[in-house]
Every structure is written in C-alpha cells, then in structure tokens.
Structure 1
Amino acid sequence: MKKILFQGLGVFLLVLAVGCGEESKTIFTENDINIVPKPLEMKLNQGAFRFTKDTKLVAANDQTQVFEVLQNKFVSAAGWNLGVVNTAPSSNFVQLSTDVSLPEEAYNLKVTENQVIIYASGHNGFLYGLETIRQLLPVSIESKNVVSNMNWDIPNVEIKDSPRFKWRGFMLDVSRHFFDKDYVMETIDQLALLKMNTLHLHLVDDQGWRIEIKKYPKLTEVGGFRVDQEDKPWNARPTPELGKETTYGGFYTQGDIKEIVAYAESRGITVVPEIEMPAHVMSAIAAYPELSCFQKPIMVPSGGVWPITDIYCPGKETTFEFLENVLLEVMELFPSRYIHVGGDEATKTNWEKCTDCKKRIQEEGLETVEELQSYFIRRMERFLSSKGRTLLGWDEILEGGLAPGATVMSWRGVKGGLEASEAGHDVVMTPNSHCYFDYYQGDQDAEPLAWGGNLPLSKVYQFDPVVEGMSEEQGNHVLGGQANLWTEYVPTKAQAEYMTYPRLAALAEAVWSSKDNRNWDDFSNRVSSLFQRYGIMGVNYAKSAYQVTTETSVNTENGVISIALKSEFSQADIRFSLDGSDITSASKKYSASVDIDRTTNIKAQVFKDGEPVGAIFEKTIKYHKAVGKPVTYINKYHDSYKGAEDLGMVNVVRGSKNFHDGQWQGWLDNDMELVIDMESPTELEKISVGALENQGSGIYFPIQVEVFLSDDGKTFRSAGSAKREYAANNGSELKDFVIEIGKQTVRYIKVKATNLGTAPTGGGSWMFIDEVVVE
C-alpha cells in the first residue's frame, strides 16, 4: 500500500491505492473549517461524509422545502438532483430531525461517514444547519456550472449552535436609488448564507415612494419617479421645475412585495417595511400636496435635501386618515410584527407657523413642536398596536416622549439605545459608527465615492449591540443589531454589493456568535474562504481590508522617519519597494519598519498565495527641511482632531480624504497659528500648507494662508500669502496652499491659516490642516 499526500482546495487528500482501484478520503483539520458566523461549539472528529448523486435528503412532508437551497447548489455545481424521501435509508443521507427542546433558532449538527443529521425545533434552525453544511462543502459548490473531478466532502463534526441575538438585520435603502425585485431576492440569499434573519426595506423617502398603495395610486405614479439628474453630484442637484418630465425611478407592485416576502420567509428572513413619517416624505407630498401644512405643489427631489421642511401636517385629521389607510395596505402585505415609521430628521419650522398645527397643540395641551411630533408618533403607535403590530422608529422618536409600546432603532451613536432601554423599551442597535455601510471602508483615494466617515471591516467586527453602561436589565431589552446601506451614493447593483460585502459577514458574526467566541485574527482567516465563495458567485465584494496603510514616527534628534506598513489582516504578506519600482511576488517582503531620510516613493501591496490582492499602495513621502522640528502653537488645534499632536505639522505623513485617518489637525471657528523653529539658520524657498475641504461634513478650506519669517523668534516679517475665496464644493478635495518666498535664510517660520468662520449653511466651520512643507 502506497500513501501519497496532496494539498489542494484547502483540504488534504489522502489517496490510498488498494489493488487495481483507488479510493480517496479527505482528511480535514480545524484550519479547513471556515464557517461564518462562527458556531457556538464545534468538535472535529476523524473522517468525512461524501455527497454522491445517490445521497438522499430525509424530511417530513412539511419540511421538504428547507432543502431547496442545498438541492439547487448540487444541481448547478455537480449536476445531481438529490432526492428527497420521508424515511432514511441505511446510509448516505442528510436528515432533518425535530427536537422541540432546542430554542427556536438553534440547531445541532452531527456528521459521520454514513449520515448527516440536523436537529432543530423548527424551520429556521434546519435552515441554519443546512447553511453550515453549505459552508463545510468545497467553495466550488457555489459554481453555476458543473465542476468535474470534485469530491463533495464535509468533515465529521459535531456542532451545537444558536444565535446570541434574535434581531440580525440589514437595511436596504431602495428609495434614494431603486433596486429591482431580483436584486432584493439576491440580497435575501446572501443574508441567508450568513444566518441573518431580518431585511429592513427603506421603501419611502423624499426621493422616491417605492411601494404600490392601491387607495392612493399617485404615490407611485408621481412619487415613484423623479427628474433624472444622475449625472450630477447628489448634493448639487437643483430643485426640479414643476411639470418637468420624470424618468428615473420605479416601484414594487403589491404582487412584487408578496413574492419578496414569501421568498424571504422560505429563507428564514422577516421583511420589515419602513414607511417614513412625519419627514422624508416629499415624494408623498409631491403626489398629494394636501398632506403638507401649506399644500404647496412640489416635485420629487432628485438629490439631497436639507433641512427637510416639507413634511406631513399633524394638524389635519386627513393626514392621519391617509397614513392609516396606507398602513392597512402595508400590513396586509407584510406579516412582520414590526412596522418601521422612520421618525427622524424632521425640521418643524412649518409646524410652528401652521394654524392647523397650532390648533392641535392647543387642543392636546402640548407645549412645543417636539411634543407635537411625540403626539404624532404616539397616535400612530396606538393605531399599529390596535392591529397587533409594534411601532419601530429611529431614535428621534424619543424626542418629546416615547410612545408606550414603541421599539427604538438607535442610529445616532448608542445614546438612544441607552435611554430607551433604561425606560424599559426594546431597542435595535445600529449606531452609525459601526453599522452604516454607506461609509468608506478603505483609503478614500482608492474607494468609490461614499457618504463620508470610515468604517473598515475590522471596525464592523468590533460591534457589540450591548454597550458599556447598560445594566443587565437594559441588555435584556437589546433585540440585536443591524447594518444599514443608505444609497444616496450607491446607484448600481455592483456598487451596492461592494459596499455591503464582506462587511455584512463581520456584522453577521457580531450579532450571532457569543462574545467570548469572537476573535479578529480567527475571523480574518475564515473570511478568506467567504471571499472565494463571493468570487465564484459573481458578487462584487470589496477587497479594501487588504489595502496597505502606514504608521509613521519621526526621530526628532536626527530627523529620520520610521514607516510601518500594515493592512487590516495582521498576518498579511506585504511586498514593497522604496524606489518606485513595480511590486511583484519577487519584491521585498515587509517584516519591520523602514527608515527613510530623503524623499521616497513607497509602493506596497498585499499578496495571498503568490498573487496580489487589494489596491496597490503608492505614496511619495516628501522629506522636507522642517521634518521633526519643534512646533509651537499660538492657536492650538481642537481636542477632537489632534493629528500627530506636536509633530503633526512636520511628520511628512499627509492626510487623506478621510478626515478621521489620524493625520489631520482641526480648528473649529478658529484660525491656525504656529511657529516652526528650524533650530539654526536655514535657507528656504517655498512653504506649502496642506488642507482638506469637505463641505458636506462642515470642513472648509482656509480663506488665506500667510507666512512670516524671523531670525530671533520675536520679530516677524511678512513673506507672502495665498488666498482662496469661498466657493461651493460638492466633493471632497485636497489642496496645497503654496507660498513662494524666494531664497531666504531664516530660523523661525510663522504660519497662519484663516478660518472661513461662519459656514454658509449656518453653524460652525472646521478647518483641517495636515502638514507644513518647508523647502
């Protein structure tokens, strides 16, 4: 007998030659098991179960639909139609076995060489057991074409698994950009793979009404379409003229909704509808102007609107009649216990002027428009409660007092969740810091345009719905967590996938796996298998976690810059060059920080299995005369944005368009003024000051940068300035303010950058500076 060891497809194949025939068996190690989210308990035993064309699927008659996903996978990838039977044969079968002692979504899985048995108390538990089997199979099971010469083996394991939280959700905004029924169903499939159980559909917003309401047909006929301005930046789209042709949009018929809901239910997923109120409803007011305070005709906006003043009028009884009629049709379509009513970002200036609203405030004994919003939400909560449903809303529904039976979705950080849970209300945690998938996930210069902020894969993985400061009782009110994909900057299916995956996998593990069973490095290894699955399925997943980033320190004694290279994955194989040469598998492997003392062009890239992955990193470190020199701040930076503190202006590391990258120093409503001590008379010719503008985030270029020179540090003379008048800017832009000073020999350099002051939209103005380059 001869033993030959092969390595391939992530497993080891032990080929045993016996006589004239060969029988191969797969030997698995724990490193070959890459289930996401990670199971609660798992024991690996020797041996494997092999699927063949004769493998039987065993279930009671009312359970057979559960096998649909696994059957379809084998039809596509193996060309086998695995038969479903009611009675188990002697071997070679997968069986569903009901165990009523298990919690609702729990499952136990036992695999031996002869059989696979899934124990669960109901539909979702069986589904999750089958999804685990799917992830135990070779990644080629995701192929849409038959794969030849493949052993469809899974390891002999014993798994006990159940979710930590009962709300494991994902919100898809289909209003800002419309995604058709097929894409919604594809999203449901991806949620099911990760054992998620809630799809929150954001069906209504200012820019589009996406659900057919038979009693009010103009909601989709008018509200479902807008003037096509997709060629312009979201926040730079002018208000459309009344009567202009509307061609961009779409909506789901009630038949579409029924299909989506039924499909989701078959995959263990509840679809929660969101019907916004009282704000984010310009699409409804465009269709029915009488719903607003002043009944002024408007168009569906094509892009961003702020502040949102065209909102429902709570002073009119007809408003509530309309909303109740809408919700009656919505409840007929969605069996979900929860109906989301939005409740966020309502600017109530029209309510303050409206005679109907004033009358309502007086009649109800209210004092403020905030209390009027509370009246609005309480009234809708009573209506939904009378129909056996639970009102769910964004944390703004807390303002003015929370309706007794309402559940809060906390998005503005965790404060809303803390407050609501302390008052005894259930909460779903979805803080924008960890759950907003419209944020960037890597270097903004290498990423598609996004809303702003930075939410890399590793930060999503850190999410915990039970937050610091919650008592045990408050923690019991936390239903779970949810990711949100707002789509102002997400116009296509490909981009929606890019923003969602693999971050959804990290979120899924955060809300499924036990807290002590989660480890970033372990997840990093397992998620690579999921990347392979996404690749085979044709999912446009982001590889941003492989991007190379830098950490830099300066030795103030000799001015040498030490640069560390890293990616989100701690064991990443990084190859680099310091001379601008192209990166290949033969390039130098990064192992420790590199020191530079001159202007250097760094290139770096992560490699996996000898191939480059993720975007190439390239940056010129511009070594200049002030590197590491002492800096004295006359007007110091804001505590919220310190950059590299005292060395921040002279550490040569330039900031990116992500103003949270740790390189920017910020001044709020204040000028920057500092002095650099060159320590000895130094010949200079040019000084550049790097700045960032992101007006959507309240960050503006300085309107002037001035340079002053001194020999003694006391008496300064003007050496030049660079001015820039305010101009509207809808993008994010980096700019160097350059002051040519001619050849001068000096010791002290004073730099002053003048803040814009009051922002054009009112409120404060940030000014962000990353470096003073002295040449």
Structure 2
Amino acid sequence: MKQLITGIMILVSLAFIWSCKPNRTFSESEIALIPQVQKMTLGESSFKFKKSTKLVVESVDQEVIARQFAGLFEKSSGWKLQVVVGGNEGSNQVYFKTEPVMAPEGYILEVQKDRIEIKAAKPAGFFYATQTLRQLLPVEIESAQKQNNIDWLVPVVSINDNPAFKWRGFMLDVVRHFFPKEDILRMIDNLALHKINTLHLHLVDDQGWRIEIKKYPKLTEVGAWRVNHEDKPWNSRPKQQAGEKATFGGFYTQDDIKKIVAYAQSHFITVVPEIEMPAHVTCALAAYPQFSCKGGPFTVPSGGLWPITDIYCAGNDSTFLFLQDVLSEVIDLFPSKYIHVGGDEATKTEWEKCPKCKARIRTEGLKNVGELQSYFMKRMEKFVNSKGRTLLGWDEILEGGLPAEATVMSWRGMQGGIDAAKQGHDVVMTPNSYVYFDYYQGPKDQEPLAIGGYLPLSTVYTFNPVPKELNAEEAKHIIGGQANLWTEYVPTFKHVEYMTFPRIAALAEAVWSSGEVRNWESFSHRIQLFMKRYDLMGINYSKSAYAVMAKPGFDPVKKQLAVALKSELAGLEIHYTTDGSEPTNLSTTYSEPVLLDKTSTLKAVTFSDGIPVGKSMTQSFNMNKATVKPVKYVIPYSENYPGSGEYTLVNGVRGSTSHSDGEWQAWEGKNMEVVIDLQQATEIHTISVGSLQNIGAWIFLPRKMEYFVSNDGVNFKKVAEKVNEADPLSGENQLKDFTVEFTPVSANFVKVIAYNLGKASKGHMGAGQNAWMFIDEIAVE
C-alpha cells in the first residue's frame, strides 16, 4: 500500500513538473509571415491554444471575424473555440479591443504566454490581425482534416502592422476561360490569407459575356457561348461556321454574383467588375449587332482576335442607352466604389468609316477618332458618377483626353500611371513587366504553355508601385498595385492556381510591406516555409522558383566554357552532373562555374535538407570550332535583346522557342553582320546559324544568309549562301537552322550576314512595321 501511495505521489509530482514546463521559445527563422509586417519584436516563450481558449470580442462585427478564425481550429483540431461577446479580459483568451486612433486596416497584435490581445480601429484591422495570428500558428492549422498531437503554439511577439497601399489587387480573366462560382470563392479564401483586398473580375471580352443582365438576356444566351476549339492553338482557331453550335463557356447569374460579393466582403475583399468598352466586345455585338457600326452579323470568337476592330458605335445614342442599362444592373450588384470600363486596345477603323461616328466628331467639335474615344469615356463617366461611383479604365483612356475624375490602371509599363498622377488622377499600377501572371515563371521547357514573356518570382518581388519620376505630392495618387492573370492559355482552375501562387505572395509583400522591411533573402526563406501551408490547403502552386538556371560564360585563364548555376530561392544546394545522368544528393555540389571542354549534357537539381525540391535542369552544350571564340558585331544587336552577353552566339547553347529565354540576340529592321575570330588557321566545311520565328511577336526568319571566310579578317571570300523561300507568315512559332556545307577550306575568320525581312509582311497585324530577327547560335565545323 505504501509503495502504491509513493508511486502515485511520484506521478502527481511529475505531472505538476510537466505542467509547469515553459512553452518553447521560437527563433525568428521559424516565423514565416507573408506579407512581412511593419514592426515585430520577438519575445521568449509562447502562448498555447487549448480547447478551453476563448475568443472575447466587443461587437457583432468582431464576432464574425472571431468565428471565422475559430472555424480554422474546428477543422484542424476538432475544437470548437468559444466566442464570447462582451466578456472580461483574462488569461487563456484572444481579446479583441477597439483602438479608435489607428489606420482602418492597421492592427496591433500582442502575444503573451498567458493571453493574446488584438487592437484595431476597424473590422478590417481585426481581420488582418487574425490572418497574421493564423500564420504564426503551426502550418497544420490549414488542414481540412483533424490533426493529432499538435501543440498549437504561437510565439510571444509584439506586432504593429499597417499596409503601405490601400489597393492590393488581383485580376482574374474569367472570359477567355470561364471559372464557376465555387472556384472564385476558393480564390477569395486564398487571397485573404495574403491580405489582398481587391478582386478585379474581367467579365467581358470578345470571347464571352460572363454576367447575367436581365434587360438584355441575349448577352448570356448568345454572348456567353462559343464553339469549342480547345484542341486548337489559341491564335489559330477558325471562325464559327454555319451549323456549328456554340457550347463552350458559361456565365454568372445575378444570384451567383451576390454570393461572390458577399463572401468577398466577409473576407474584406472588394470585387471590382470590368465591363469592357468600346472595344473587346464582339460577344456583345454577336447578341445585339445593332450597337455596332456595321450592323453585323457577328459570332463569338473561340480564340485570338487581332486587331480589335469590332467596336460599339460611338455615333449611335442607343449604344449609350444600352451601356447605361447594363451598368445600372452591374452597379446594383457590386457595391465597389470603382466600376472598370476597360478602354484598351480599341482599333478605330470602323469609326473612321462610320457615317454616324463621323457626324458625332463634327457635331462635338472633335479632331479625330482618338478624341471620339475620349468623348465616349467621358460620357460614360458622367453616368457612372451619377450613380455615386468612380470610373476606372486601362491606361488607353488617357488618349484623347482623360475623363475628369477617372482613375487609371496603368498596364503598358509605368508611363501611363506617371502621366495620370501628374495630371492629378489616382492610379493603380499594374505594369506587364512586373505583375502579368500569364507570363512564364520558369524555364519554358519545364512550364505549361503560356502567352510568352518571363516573370519569375524574384521580379514580381521587386515591384514598386511608386515610380521615381513622381514627387511626393504626385506619389500620393498611386493608390496601389495589382497582378493580372489573363487566361487565354489557362484553361483550368488548377492552372489558375499554378500561375498565381506563389507569385501572389511576392505581390502581396510589394503592396503591403514598406521598403524598409522588404528583403529578398528573407522572403526567399519565408516563402519556402509558406509553401507548406499551400500544400495543406491543396493549392496547386508552382515550384518554378526552385529551378536551376544555367548561364554560360568564358574562363579567360583556362580558355574554356564556364557555366554558372543558380536558383532563385536562397539557401538551397545545387547538385549537378555533366554526363547526362540524373543528379542525386551525392553528386557534385555546385560552388563555382562548371568548366566544359567537350560536348556535354549538364544536369542540375536544387536540394533542401538532402531532398530534391526542383525539377531537373538539362542543358546540352555542343562544342564546335566557334565555341567561346571572340565575336565582332559589325551591325550591333538591339539593346533590348542582348542574350547572355558577348558569347551568346558561340556559347554552345541553343535558344528555345521563347524569345526572352536569354539565349537570343535580336535585330529590329536591320541585318545581322558578325565576324568570328577562330584565333588560328582552322579547316572548316560547315556553318550553321540558328534562328527563330514567332509571327505573333513580330519575329520573322531571315530572308537570306551569306557565309564568308578570311585569313586576315579584312578580305573575305563568300563560300555559300542560303535563301529562305518560305512564306514569312507560315508557321506561327518555330526554330530553323540555316546550315550550309562547302568544300573544306582553311580560315582564321568566319563572317555571317543574315538579311532581315525588313518590314512585317502584308497580311500581318504589324504590316509595314519593323520586323524582328532573332539569332541564337553559330556553329562551325
């Protein structure tokens, strides 16, 4: 009996000692907050959530936010945390306290080892505080399944946070490909985690009308549907033929819209609708051709359309009545301050021919069709303003004169935004060079098909919405920034997620965090931890930032090709092989440029903690007699496309079909003439030159190549030529080698002249404009 009592006492003592054991202290490297907070002081110990932890709030608004937070716990822990309205301050609780003198979206989060306190002036501040608290919890909080044996600890910390910009946006094009309501709600959930507060829905474009308008039912009966040509390239899809049924598409009912808007509001996201005008409206004209200049008929295109000539008739008053009716229903559905009316890429050839439009120009005293578009936008702005809203448009609305109170969304770089801000207009910066998420984000050969371009995670992170050209007063008109995802090449919502995440995290930090707290190396570490949340949330995010990139160079001492390897994300090991075998964690660890003196296949992979995290990079290096030999450019290449430097044409690396992959040099409207110094008398018999055609990007194959040899670099003898007899408009995107063989000859120098097409051919969208010519590699054997 005595032994039993002694045993019980020991167990009780151990339990007491264990209960008194302090919660663990976190290091800063364990905390992965995105976007980075403005001020954070990390303390010792931590707060532990228990089943008995209470969420104590002051108001109904706070209660809604607290219950959302409690919902995360219910799914992942099985606990239903109690939410108490009007309770007293105490321990083992998260206490919501109104602090009136704070910014609307700002908050203070104080985590102590026995309680948590959140202070904010407005509901938005409390909501963002709970998102930060969510990110301080173990990643398992994101699980939809109950997680066992988790210590729900939050580090003791003091955070004072507030966004740098009031517009933190994401645009989703639901026209080129339609995504149902459930997908939009899921996107809202995921955007809220990143403190994004604006969802811009691109609801109208040539390829579809996506919102129910009760007064004009044909907009969705006809305009929402197109022929299913998803098996064909986007820019090579035929027009709808007689008898073909339009079955591909969809639209949101007004009830759908109400649910989306309400759900977004509960996550402190404003939904901004975009109703395109005066162009990008073929879908509307297919339904109601009477609002066009030429009267139709029109069909909804199933793919690319360029130039954008289908346009509303600006000379017809009924057009404006129609659009006012449409916008009246839209405004009733969306409480957003801003109504986006597009205004971009309008080709006005129909206006130039239309008698009614020409009459409008005369009657209104306008100079040209550019001013007619300004008249169109100003007239629509008066209506939008009469409803208590603000007109928002792409930067083309600057042309011909900006509507008086309009806000500009600058997408063609920063200049439109700069001009608008200098005129005293508010601006949302969304330049394609930083925030167009339809661009490739990794090596093209490892990525799904995209529209083109190259926008890696690190480039998005460098986005600063405020250009240096603005003074302090003008900069106040930059209200924020936004990422745009156009979906011509994004057919599924899984693909939407792939193109959006993790780049939206970089955008979120660019528009929330001040420059003083932003740091790529820190973000690079935090996003790798954050991806574990994406895993548990089931987000189909891209891992392109883990990819290895190879940059060929020249070692002047050893006179060999020297290949530098790197990955975007910091803190990773790169392992590589040069024999074509797949790298493992036992393969050579990269520390300095890899030297190559023979034809090789270089493979490399990033590793974290001994585990491969990226896709295997494969790069072939074809060594020949011109490899890393000096190149003289008689006609310089365009500074916009310098390739990888002075050895681009002789680095042994072939370019891909992406003209922006860093392996192409380009000449705009000019010929290429280069001389390669072989550095000694060399017998040669073959010269091959690689080129690219991408007519959508105005890139055409050379019309002819000429090949010369010389012993002194002054006097050259022509040894061959190659004429390109193919139609310049044939083949949308292709690689072509111009290879010639000739009687062996000894030469010290090789000269190649590639003849540019000069101007884009008749029948091309850029007919008469300078043609581009892209060259990637000159091989000599």
TM-score per shorter chain, which class? over 0.9
Q: 1:557 to 1:705 in 2, by over 3 A?
A: farther
Partner of 2:165: 165
Q: CA deviation at 1:630?
A: 2.9
Partner of 2:8: none
SS of structure 1 residue aligned to 2:97: strand
Partner of 2:736: 735
Q: 1:718 to 1:651 in 2, by over 3 A?
A: same
Q: 1:60 to 1:585 in 2, by over 3 A?
A: same
Residue pair 1:458, 1:568 contacting (<8 A) in 2 also: yes
SS of structure 2 residue aligned to 1:649: helix
Partner of 1:74: 73
Partner of 1:200: 200
Partner of 2:264: 264
SS of structure 2 residue aligned to 1:25: coil
The separation in 2 between residues aligned to 1:19 and 1:332, in whole angstroms, is 62
Q: CA deviation at 1:747?
A: 2.4
Residue pair 2:719, 2:742 contacting (<8 A) in 1 also: no
Q: CA deviation at 1:701?
A: 2.0
The separation in 2 between residues aligned to 1:17 and 1:473, in whole angstroms, is 65
One-letter code aligned to 1:758: K
Partner of 2:584: 584
Q: 1:623 to 1:114 in 2, by over 3 A?
A: same
Q: CA deviation at 1:587?
A: 1.4
Q: CA deviation at 1:106?
A: 0.3
Partner of 1:58: 56
Residue pair 1:709, 1:719 contacting (<8 A) in 2 also: no
Q: CA deviation at 1:629?
A: 2.3
One-letter code aligned to 2:333: L
One of 24, 29, 45 as aligned partner of 1:26: 24
Q: 1:364 to 1:136 in 2, by over 3 A?
A: same
SS of structure 1 residue aligned to 2:45: strand
Matches within 5 A, 1:694-705: 694-705=694-705
Partner of 1:276: 276
Residue pair 1:242, 1:298 contacting (<8 A) in 2 also: no
- Greater mean alpha carbon deviation, residues 213-222 or residues 48-57: 48-57
One-letter code aligned to 2:41: K
Partner of 1:85: 84
Partner of 1:5: none
Residue pair 2:436, 2:484 contacting (<8 A) in 1 also: yes
Q: CA deviation at 1:528?
A: 1.0
Is 1:693 matched up with 2:693? yes
What is the Cα-based RMSD across aligned positions, in Å?
A: 1.8
The separation in 2 between residues aligned to 1:392 and 1:661, in whole angstroms, is 35
Partner of 2:776: 770
Partner of 1:12: none
Q: CA deviation at 1:122?
A: 1.2
Gapped regions of structure 2 (runs ≥ 5) = 1-12
Matches within 5 A, 1:556-705: 559-705=559-705
Q: 1:742 to 1:96 in 2, by over 3 A?
A: farther
Partner of 2:304: 304
One-letter code aligned to 2:656: S
Is 1:118 matched up with 2:124? no
- Greater mean alpha carbon deviation, residues 253-262 or residues 648-657: 648-657
The separation in 2 between residues aligned to 1:626 and 1:486, in whole angstroms, is 42
SS of structure 2 residue aligned to 1:274: strand
Partner of 2:410: 410
Residue pair 1:203, 1:209 contacting (<8 A) in 2 also: yes
- 1:493-540: CA deviations, max 9, x gaps? 111111000000000000000111100001001111211111111111
Q: 1:157 to 1:726 in 2, by over 3 A?
A: same
Residue pair 1:465, 1:478 contacting (<8 A) in 2 also: yes
- Greater mean alpha carbon deviation, residues 577-586 or residues 495-504: 577-586
Q: CA deviation at 1:46?
A: 1.1
Partner of 2:724: 723
Q: CA deviation at 1:242?
A: 4.7
Residue pair 2:704, 2:721 contacting (<8 A) in 1 also: no
- 1:659-718: CA deviations, max 9, x gaps? 233332111122222222223221223222122222211112223333233344414132
Q: 1:198 to 1:561 in 2, by over 3 A?
A: same
Partner of 2:749: 748
The separation in 1 between residues aligned to 2:551 and 2:725, in whole angstroms, is 32
Q: CA deviation at 1:146?
A: 0.9
The separation in 2 between residues aligned to 1:254 and 1:709, in whole angstroms, is 72
Residue pair 1:604, 1:618 contacting (<8 A) in 2 also: yes
Partner of 1:441: 441
Q: CA deviation at 1:436?
A: 0.5
Is 1:43 matched up with 2:41? yes
Matches within 5 A, 1:506-585: 506-555=506-555, 559-585=559-585
Partner of 1:8: none
What percentage of residue pairs aligned between the two structures are identical? 53
Q: CA deviation at 1:65?
A: 1.0
Residue pair 1:435, 1:483 contacting (<8 A) in 2 also: yes
- 1:187-244: CA deviations, max 9, x gaps? 1111110111100000000000000000000000000000110001110001212552
- Greater mean alpha carbon deviation, residues 107-116 or residues 743-752: 743-752
One-letter code aligned to 2:76: A
SS of structure 2 residue aligned to 1:615: coil
The separation in 2 between residues aligned to 1:472 and 1:590, in whole angstroms, is 46
Q: CA deviation at 1:257?
A: 0.2
- Greater mean alpha carbon deviation, residues 723-732 or residues 134-143: 723-732
One-letter code aligned to 2:776: D
Partner of 2:7: none
Q: 1:153 to 1:557 in 2, by over 3 A?
A: closer
One-letter code aligned to 1:45: G
Q: CA deviation at 1:371?
A: 0.4
The separation in 2 between residues aligned to 1:112 and 1:729, in whole angstroms, is 69
The separation in 1 between residues aligned to 2:682 and 2:110, in whole angstroms, is 75
- 1:582-603: CA deviations, max 9, x gaps? 1111112111122222212111
The separation in 1 between residues aligned to 2:669 and 2:317, in whole angstroms, is 45
One-letter code aligned to 1:425: H
- 1:545-589: CA deviations, max 9, x gaps? 111112222145753111111011233211111222211111121
Q: CA deviation at 1:730?
A: 6.4
Aligned length: 760
Partner of 2:327: 327
Residue pair 2:525, 2:570 contacting (<8 A) in 1 also: no
- 1:708-767: CA deviations, max 9, x gaps? 333444141323536351354665433333223354332232222222332231122111
Q: CA deviation at 1:268?
A: 0.4
TM-score (norm 2): 0.95
Gapped regions of structure 1 (runs ≥ 5) = 1-15
Residue pair 2:705, 2:723 contacting (<8 A) in 1 also: yes
Q: CA deviation at 1:658?
A: 3.4
SS of structure 2 residue aligned to 1:311: coil
SS of structure 1 residue aligned to 2:656: coil
Is 1:316 matched up with 2:322? no
The separation in 2 between residues aligned to 1:349 and 1:144, in whole angstroms, is 55
TM-score (norm 1): 0.95
SS of structure 1 residue aligned to 2:312: coil
SS of structure 1 residue aligned to 2:650: coil
SS of structure 2 residue aligned to 1:709: strand
The separation in 2 between residues aligned to 1:19 and 1:429, in whole angstroms, is 58
One-letter code aligned to 2:415: K
Partner of 2:4: none
Residue pair 1:726, 1:756 contacting (<8 A) in 2 also: no
Q: 1:648 to 1:20 in 2, by over 3 A?
A: closer
Partner of 1:3: none
Q: 1:239 to 1:521 in 2, by over 3 A?
A: same
- 1:69-93: CA deviations, max 9, x gaps? 3222111111111111121463211
Partner of 2:9: none
SS of structure 1 residue aligned to 2:615: strand
Q: CA deviation at 1:656?
A: 3.3
Matches within 5 A, 1:339-418: 339-418=339-418
One-letter code aligned to 2:727: Y
Q: 1:53 to 1:557 in 2, by over 3 A?
A: closer
One-letter code aligned to 1:272: V
SS of structure 2 residue aligned to 1:707: strand
Q: CA deviation at 1:326?
A: 0.4
Matches within 5 A, 1:226-237: 226-237=226-237
Residue pair 2:36, 2:517 contacting (<8 A) in 1 also: yes
The separation in 2 between residues aligned to 1:753 and 1:476, in whole angstroms, is 50
The separation in 2 between residues aligned to 1:556 and 1:436, in whole angstroms, is 39
- 1:249-298: CA deviations, max 9, x gaps? 00000000000000000000000000000011110000000010111111
